[in-house]
Structure 1
C-alpha cells in the first residue's frame, strides 16, 4: 500500500496477477469438489480460500480477490459461462444498435442489489488475511479488480474470446453512438463491481484492460479511455469509515493495467490513477520515460521466464527490479498473468529473490 501511494519501501513488494487459481495443486483439488468457475467465484467460502492459497504458499505481499471480470455481467442477468480452455462465452452476443439499446436498459444498480455473495467473500477474505498477517507480523491487503469497459465489450460483441477483437473495433466506427452507449453502461456496471469490493474491505483496486492494445492510439483516446476513466468513478465516490480520505473521498489506490499498451501508456496514466501496470513488452524504465505522471509502476517479468533455466529467470527478475528504480516506487509483478503450467516452487523462488533484493 505504501508503494502504491508513492513511498518506496526498502523491500520491494510483490504479488502476481492470476496468483490465485489454476497453477496451484491445492486450487485444482478444491475445484474438483464440483461446481463451475462462476459458481466458485460466488461461493464466499471457496473464493476466500482460493484467494488465500497463494498468500500462504508464496508469501506474497498482497492477495488479489479470486473472481472474474464477467461476474458483474452475470449479476445483472446476462447469460455467460466460463468455458474451460476457452474463457467467457455469452449465450447472446450484443452486436446491433437495437441489442445495445435493450442491454443498457438493465439497471447497473443490480450489481449492488445482487452482490451479497461478492461482498461476503471479500469480508471473509479480509478477515482471513488479517489472521495470516498476524502470523507473519505484517499487514496483508486485498486487491480488488474489475474489467475495463473495452475488454468487456470485446467479449460481449464477439460472444466470447477473439484473436483480433474485430467486432468491437468495427463497432467503434460503424455505430459510434451505440458504441458510446455500450461502454458507458459497462463503465457503470464494472465500476460498481469494483466499488462493491472496496466497500466490503478491499484496500486497492485494479482495472484490467486485457485487450486495449488491439486499438490504435487515436481510437483508444477517443472511444475507450473516457469509459475507463468513468469505471474508476464509483470507487472515487466512496466515503468509507476508517479509510484514509482526500477531501472526504476514500483514498483507495487505483491501478490501471493493459496488455500490448506500449503506445498508449501515457494515456492510461493520465486518468488520475496511482499505479500503472506495464506488460512485459516494455521495460519499466522505458515506460517511465513515456508517461508524464509520477506514478508507481507495477510489473513486469515476462511469464515465459518462469519456464527458463534458473540463471536466466533470476537475471530477468534482477533486470526488472533495476528498471523499476526509474519510478517513484515499484510493485513487482509479472507482465501478465501466471500461466497455468507454472511450477509453484518457481513463483515462490521469485518472491524470495524480490524480497532479498535491495536498491543499489
Structure 2
C-alpha cells in the first residue's frame, strides 16, 4: 500500500516537515514530449473536456519528477463561458474574448455560475485523480477577479491593462458589480473543486501587479478578502500568487490565506524582513532553468536555505514552466530540493 505524501499540506500549515516540498507552476504539459504529442491532436480546451486524458496530463509530472503535489490541468478562464463570456484560447495568444465588458449593463447581463452544469468535466477529472491515482495532494485553482476582469475588459491579453485600469476608476459601479460577480463564480468553482477532492487551492492573480498598493486596497482587496474568507471554511490550505507584485506581498499576507507565493523579484529573506511570517512559496526564476546545472543548483541552494530559515516554505518557480525547459532538469531539481532541504532540516 503506497502512503499518501502530505508534506505540502503540512508545510502550507506551517507544520514541521522532513524536507521542503516542491511543485512547479505549469508543470503539467508545456515541455513534456508526451504532452506535446497529445497537443498535436487536441487543444487545451479539448483536453480539459476529456477527464481521463486530462487526469493523465495532470498526473504525468508527478510520475516523472516526483513532485510533492499535482496541479490540475486547466485554464483560469475555464469558468467564464458558464456566465456568458464568449472566450476562446488561441495558440500563442491566450484567452480572446469577443464580447468584452464595457458597461454596468454588460455586467448585469452575465449569468449565474453552476459548477455541476458548467464545468462537470473539471470535477470528473478531480474525482478520477483523487479517488484512483494520486498519492500526493491535488491543487485546484482559480483565476482572481482582477486578472479575469482584465481579460474580460481588454478582450484578451494586455501589456499595460490600460482599459482595465481606466474602467476600474471611471466606472466604479460596474467594476464593483463585476468583482462581486467574479467573486461568487470563483467561490463556487473552488468549493466544487474541493468537494470533488482537491486538497489545496491556489488563486492566481497573475496580472494584479499592474496596480499600485492604494488602488489594490480600494478596488481589489475587499473581494479577495471575501473569497479567501469563504474558502477558509473548507479547511484546506490556500495559496495566493501573482507576478510582478512584490509591492503587494504585505497586502496578501493580511488576507486569510495560508501561503503567500512570491515571484523571483522578492527573496524569501527579504519577505521575512518585511514582516511576512506565513509559509512562503517560490521562487526560482524560471528563465534560470535554461542555465547550466551548477548555476541552477547555486540559486536553488540559496532559496532552500532561506526557506528553511524562514520556517514554512514550499519550493516553486517565480512563474510557470515554459516550453523550452527540459523535463530532466525539473526532475533533477526536485531531487536536489528534497535531498538538500532534508540535510538542512535534520
Which category of TM-score, normalised to the shorter sequence, fits these structures? over 0.9
- Offset at 1:77? 3.3
Task: Give the paired residue count.
Answer: 335
Task: Pick from 170, 193, 213 the counterpart of residue 197 of structure 1.
Answer: 193
Structure 1 residues 230, 193: closer, same or farther in 2, change over 3 A? same
- Offset at 1:173? 0.9
Instruction: Give the root-mean-square deviation of aligned CA atoms.
Output: 1.4
Q: Deviations over 1:104-157 (max 9, x none)?
A: xx113x234323221111000113434xx3xxxxxx110000000000001100
Aligned to 2:59: 52
Q: Which sections of structure 1, spanning at least 5 residues, go unmatched?
A: 134-139, 238-249
Are 1:65 and 2:61 matched, yes or no?
Answer: no
Aligned to 2:248: 264
Tell me how far apart the structure 2 counterparts of residues 129 and 351 of structure 1 sit (CA, whole Å): 21
Aligned to 1:299: 282
TM-score between the two structures when normalised by the length of structure 1 = 0.90
- Offset at 1:97? 2.5
Aligned to 2:262: 278
Structure 1 residues 229, 20: closer, same or farther in 2, change over 3 A? same
- Offset at 1:95? 2.1
Aligned to 2:4: none
- Offset at 1:233? 4.2
Please give the secondary structure, in 2, of the residue aligned with 1:2. helix
Please give the secondary structure, in 2, of the residue aligned with 1:195. helix
Are 1:88 and 2:95 matched, yes or no?
Answer: yes
Given that 2:20 and 2:313 are in contact with CA atoms closer than 8 Å, whether structure 1 keeps it comes out as yes
Aligned to 1:317: 300
Aligned to 2:182: 186
Are 1:150 and 2:141 matched, yes or no?
Answer: no
- Offset at 1:99? 1.6
Tell me how far apart the structure 2 counterparts of residues 72 and 102 of structure 1 sit (CA, whole Å): 16
- Offset at 1:23? 1.2
Aligned to 2:45: 38
Task: Pick from 112, 126, 132 the counterpart of residue 130 of structure 2.
Answer: 126
Task: Pick from 216, 220, 240 the counterpart of residue 220 of structure 1.
Answer: 216
Given that 1:280 and 1:301 are in contact with CA atoms closer than 8 Å, whether structure 2 keeps it comes out as yes
Q: Which sections of structure 2, spanning at least 5 residues, go unmatched?
A: 1-8
TM-score between the two structures when normalised by the length of structure 2 = 0.93
